Amino acid sequence: PDGQFVLGGLAIGDATYTVRAEDPSGASASQRGVHVGRTDVVVTLPPLRTISGAVVDARGAPAAGVTIQATSGDTGHVVTTEATADGKFLLKGLSPGPVSLTALRSASDGLAVASADVVLLPTQNLAGVHLVLQAPVVAQAVAAAPPAP
C-alpha cells in the first residue's frame, strides 16, 4: 500500500539491475543501473489522467446512457463509463499517450456510433471532448440464392 519493496536473491558484485514498476492501467516507469544494496531506489509512475466531455445524438440532443470506451494506444488498457442523463461522461484512470474513444448506443432502430482519437499529455487531463453519434445503422440480412445447376 505504501509503495515500498524489497528484492532478494540478487547476485552480489558489479551487477546492475533495472527496477520497473507498472500500475493496473499498464503505465510503467523504470530505473536502470541499480546496484545491490542501494536503499534509495525511487521509481515514479506517471499520474493517471481523465477525459471528460459530452456525447450527443445526430440531432444535437444529449445522449443519455451511451457507453463510452477509452482504449490506450500504448498499453491496450480499456476504461468504460456511461453517459449521464445530460450526456456528460468522465473516464478515469488513463495513462498518458494516445487514446481511442468510442461511444456506442444500441437501440431497436440500430447501432449509433461516435469515435475520436486523442492524446493525453502527462501534465494534464483532457476536458471538453464532444462526441456526436452518427445516425443508427440497421443491419440487414440478405439471403443469397443457391447457384443455378
pLDDT digits (tens, 9 = 90+) for 39-57: 788 888 878 899 999 999 9
pLDDT in tens, the chain (149 residues): 577 777 788 877 788 888 888 877 777 788 888 888 877 888 888 788 999 999 999 889 999 999 999 999 988 889 999 999 999 999 998 988 999 999 998 876 667 889 999 999 988 899 999 999 987 655 555 666 667 66
- Interacting residues of 87 by C-beta distance below 8 A, sequence separation 6+: 54, 55, 56, 61, 62, 63, 64, 66
Burial of 75 (0-12, 13-18, 19+ CB in 10 A): middle
